[in-house]
Amino acid sequence: MAAKIKKGDLVQVMAGRTSDANNPRFVARNKRREAEGLEPLKTGDKGKQGRVLKVFPKDNTAIVEGVNLRTHHVRQGQNAQGQVTGGIEQREAPISLSKLALVDPATKKPAKVGFREEEVERDGRMRTVRVRINKATGKDI
């Protein structure tokens, strides 16, 4: 699956907690948790789209811009200009490739991906190149 998703691709999160705060199941669950004295659950990343910043093929994960944000507490220090740094930062954490779907740039909707082999001439030699295609439309992604 790692071959489908590359750095710079537009992807959508397909699995995980919903990002729809108005979902009746989500609202009912948070009301029940509030009645029990628990903190309500926050909405998740399902349905969000973002660009892939980095792919980790060995771990089968990727870092996606604006998705799977985690809080990091950074120790206070000084940089080269003498400014004080540190505090609480939001950073993207890796997310499993199995939860991501490639988005077709033309329709901005998730697409099932297939591959087509094409013969291309480079440096005077014919080479075989794999091209990603949308299985529904047959067009290149």
Span 17-62, pLDDT tens digits: 877 778 888 889 899 999 999 888 888 888 899 999 999 999 999 9
Strand intervals (E) in the chain: 10-13, 49-56, 61-64, 69-78, 84-92, 95-96, 100-104, 109-110, 113-122, 125-134
Q: Determine the pLDDT at residue 3.
A: 59
Global pTM reads: 0.77
Please work out, in degrees rounded to the nearest 5, the angle formed at the alpha carbon of residue 128 by the alpha carbons of 124 and 129: 110
| Residue 101 to residue 138: CA distance in whole angstroms | 17
